[in-house]
Amino acid sequence: MRRAMQYLLYSVILLLLVYFSLNLGNFHIPPQQVFSILLAKVTGGPLPETGRYEDVVLLSLRLPRIIMAILVGASLGVAGAVSQGIFRNPLVSPFILGVSSGASFGAGVAIVFFSHIPHAMDFLASLGGLVAVVAAFLIARHPGGFTPRLSLVLAGVIISSFFTSMVGILKYLADTESQLPALTFWMMGSFSAIDWNSLNPVIYVIPVCLLLMIIFSWQLNILSLGDREAAFLGMETEKWKTFFLFLVVISVGAGVARCGVIGWVGLVIPHIARAISGPNHRDVLPLSAFLGAGFLLIADNIARAATSGDVPVGIITALIGTPFFVYFLRRREATIWS
């Protein structure tokens, strides 16, 4: 009952944040008018007598962007928590592990060479993330079959650097009039181009991946004990690692393909979730989803309201995430991971 009440509270806070976000923007819409338009859309009734601009801005521009920020933030938060649990390393995240850089390279290949093929970016981004994380794991894996924590972090740095260099080659080969500006802006992460078409297939892929990771979070508790201890308890560790890593790559790849590279969410949010709920992944994963969604939605609100233009949200997450992580690294590390 206590856990259900907590999730209800988190849901209410997130809904209030969504309503606030719908009212935020350069084009002013009165709050009561926002509520009337949403109520008419949900109930299927006629839209209130408003100008056409209010309907378009609210339903076609702001609402899909907010939904995408929630989905991507939740996926990055949960993916970071799962990655840290699998590899028992508080420094692991989709960005550090190489998933984001590999997905970036795959999406960059789609932008430069296969932009005319539908869903090429989704497929290549997921494939690039999968190749990156498998390569990092193979580099860090010792002949004895175990993977040291520091070796995994270093392998992730190596893979991230390699794929970043490959993205640089793509920038060199890209057309300077159309492909290069799109690739450069996309690398900084942004929700400015999101519409209802952009939500396909993200709106189906990410919730399914999140639900599966949360349902099997008790297996993640066993994996976090270590490979040897988990094997003593009868777990097939390689199978479950592959299962979780596949879900991480698919969810992160789907978000990166649509919104670009957004760092720090998958690294900072799991630490905050553990500080609030403790080390049990049955609590950490759902809370990471709520916190990641709220964090990225707030960052996108700042990106929209900071200037008359649209600041890339990846810049905002880095500015907010850096001091948070420094605090948890210096003050709370022993408490969170005890």
Query: pLDDT digit string (tens) for 144-186?
Result: 555 555 677 788 888 988 998 998 899 888 888 888 887 887 7
pLDDT at 136 over 80: yes
What per-residue confidence (pLDDT) applies to 302? 92
| 47-51, 103-107, 246-250, 298-302 — most confident range | 298-302
| C-alpha distances out from residue 57 to 27, 28, 61, 308, Å | 8, 10, 5, 16
Which residue shows structure tokens 């109930």?
A: 43
Query: What DSSP character marks residue 330?
Result: I
- Residue 2, SS3? helix
Q: What ranges do the domains of the chain cover? A: 2-336
**Sign of CA pseudo-dihedral 6, 9, 14, 17:** negative
Rounded Cα–Cα distance for residues 45 and 106 (Å)? 43
Sequence-ordered alpha helix ranges (H) in the chain:
2-22, 31-43, 52-55, 63-87, 99-113, 120-140, 149-173, 179-187, 202-215, 217-223, 227-232, 237-259, 265-277, 281-305, 313-327, 333-336
The correct CATH number of 2-336 out of 1.10.3470.10, 3.20.20.10, 3.30.390.30, 3.40.50.410 is 1.10.3470.10
**7-38: b (≥16 Cβ within 10 Å) or e:** eeebeeebeebbeebbeebeeebeeebbebbb
* 89, 151 Cβ separation under 8 angstroms: no
Closest CA to 301 of 69, 133, 53: 69
Global pTM value: 0.87
What per-residue confidence (pLDDT) applies to 154? 82
Q: 81 falls in which pLDDT band (50, 70, 90)? A: very high
HEC per residue, 200-217: CCHHHHHHHHHHHHHHCH
Query: pLDDT digit string (tens) for 287-298?
Result: 999 999 999 999
| 83-87, 211-215, 261-265, 272-276 — most confident range | 211-215
Tokens of 54: 């209010």
Helix 265-277 and helix 281-305, axial crossing angle in degrees, nearest 10: 130
* 69, 129 Cβ separation under 8 angstroms: no
- Residue 87 or residue 162, greater confidence: 162
Closest CA to 273 of 10, 2, 4, 1: 10
* 286, 7 Cβ separation under 8 angstroms: yes
